[in-house]
């Protein structure tokens, strides 16, 4: 009817937009470059300090938001200055931070990261958030059940497992970024649709990435894999192994590469892509991230994805370096 705003239609349109429900780490990262890691009891000057929001789930949500998929962040921060910066870094990206639990008189997650460009590696010193871990009753179950996917890193095992059970029962895809083999991770794995580990996680679980993939697949996970840094990735999907080298990159800092790799898997799953295309997006985006300081600086935008053919078109091969 002319002159009357269709608020119901707008609400329905918002509800139909893809929303990724994130549970896990949100951090403030201080990142500096060094020529080589020093021996003990030696002063080492770093340069190019970057202060940026970080954390596997938080950075994945930032990537997804830039690619046109809304994000909702659930985690824990303190009421300190770091917590204020963490919240602002996500809100400024358009991510819903109403699920962040701010613990009074507690410290937020913080990391100091030293990157060595020559060997393309970094060392992370970090402090997890203090105070009470995220609890299941602090999760918005109604929003979770309306979400298009659940993306977690398992830092809060009790809350993550509870959410994974609920999402799995409701037919909502569960994607797990398994960076560390911590308590509860293998139980979470049983309720996931896509469970891709770091090389560190894989080494703690099994002798080879292939063995890790098989062990996870035996739990009933259809899409398993291991990220291998400069060596690319190994994946096992529906009984078929896929092993590809990393995309060429002039790597400066590998912070956030794995986070954005997992964002590519979540994005592809929501688009209904075949696994190879999702993996290709993740690997390409991770390579681009490594060429900038900080996990979020080099995230390709939606136009970059379109230019690369990550739409309804087949993926295009990487041009020669």
Give the pLDDT confidence of 221-256 residue by residue, as tens digits: 999 999 999 899 999 999 999 999 999 999 999 999
pLDDT reading at 6 higher than 70: no
Question: What is the average pLDDT value for the chain, to the nearest integer?
Answer: 90
pLDDT reading at 8 higher than 80: no
Question: Rounded to 5 degrees, what are φ and ψ at 123?
Answer: -120, 130
* pTM of the shown model: 0.90
pLDDT reading at 63 higher than 50: yes
Instruction: Say if 317 falls within a structural domain.
Output: no
Instruction: Say if 3 falls within a structural domain.
Output: no
- Predicted pLDDT at 84: 97
Instruction: Say if 309 falls within a structural domain.
Output: no
Confidence of residue 15 (pLDDT cuts 50, 70, 90): very low
Strands (E), the chain: 19-23, 27-33, 47-54, 70-78, 96-103, 110-116, 121-127, 149-152, 174-178, 194-197, 223-227, 233-237, 240-244
pLDDT reading at 319 higher than 90: no
Residue numbers of the domain that contains 139: 19-299
- Predicted pLDDT at 121: 85
Is the separation of the CB atoms in 18 and 71 below 8 Å? Answer: no
Q: What is the dihedral of CA 195, 94, 281, 168, to 10 degrees?
A: 30
Token match 């977690």: residue? 152
Q: What is the mean pLDDT of residues 16-39?
A: 92
Instruction: Say if 8 falls within a structural domain.
Output: no
Confidence of residue 120 (pLDDT cuts 50, 70, 90): confident
State whether residue 270 is helix, strand or coil.
helix
CATH code, domain carrying 89: 3.40.1190.20
Instruction: Say if 142 falls within a structural domain.
Output: yes
Instruction: Say if 249 falls within a structural domain.
Output: yes
Q: How many structural domains compose the chain?
A: 1
pLDDT reading at 314 higher than 90: no
Taking every pair of C-alpha atoms in the chain, what is the biggest distance, in angstroms? 75
- Predicted pLDDT at 311: 66
Instruction: Say if 113 falls within a structural domain.
Output: yes
Cα 59 to Cα 43: distance, rounded to the nearest angstrom:
31
Instruction: Say if 307 falls within a structural domain.
Output: no
pLDDT reading at 316 higher than 90: no
């Amino acid at each position: 009817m002319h002159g009357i705003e269709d608020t119901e239609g707008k609400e329905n349109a918002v509800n139909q937009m893809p929303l990724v429900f994130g549970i896990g780490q949100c951090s403030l990262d201080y990142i500096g470059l060094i020529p080589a890691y020093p021996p003990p009891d030696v002063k080492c000057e770093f340069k190019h300090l970057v202060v940026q929001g970080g954390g596997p789930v938080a950075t994945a949500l930032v990537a997804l938001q830039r690619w046109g998929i809304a994000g909702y962040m659930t985690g824990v921060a303190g009421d300190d200055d770091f917590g204020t910066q963490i919240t602002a870094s996500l809100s400024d990206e358009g991510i819903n931070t109403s699920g962040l639990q701010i613990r009074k008189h507690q410290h937020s997650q913080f990391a100091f990261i030293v990157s060595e460009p020559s060997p393309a590696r970094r060392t992370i010193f970090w402090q997890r958030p203090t105070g009470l871990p995220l609890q299941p009753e602090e999760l918005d179950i109604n929003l979770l059940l309306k979400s298009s996917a659940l993306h977690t890193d398992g830092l809060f095992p009790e809350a993550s497992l509870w959410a994974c059970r609920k999402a799995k029962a409701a037919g909502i895809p569960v994607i797990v970024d398994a960076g560390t083999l911590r308590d509860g991770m293998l139980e979470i794995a049983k309720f996931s649709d896509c469970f891709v580990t770091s090389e560190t996680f894989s080494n703690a679980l099994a002798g080879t990435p292939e063995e890790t993939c098989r062990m996870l697949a035996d739990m009933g996970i259809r899409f398993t894999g291991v990220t291998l840094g400069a060596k690319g990735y190994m994946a096992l999907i529906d009984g078929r192994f896929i092993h590809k080298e990393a995309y060429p990159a002039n790597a400066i800092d590998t912070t956030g590469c794995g986070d954005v790799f997992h964002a590519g898997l979540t994005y592809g799953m929501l688009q209904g892509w075949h696994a190879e295309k999702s993996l290709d997006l993740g690997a390409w985006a991770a390579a681009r991230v490594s060429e900038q300081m900080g996990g979020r600086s080099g995230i390709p935008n939606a136009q970059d994805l379109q230019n690369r053919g990550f739409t309804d078109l087949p993926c295009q091969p990487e041009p020669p370096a």
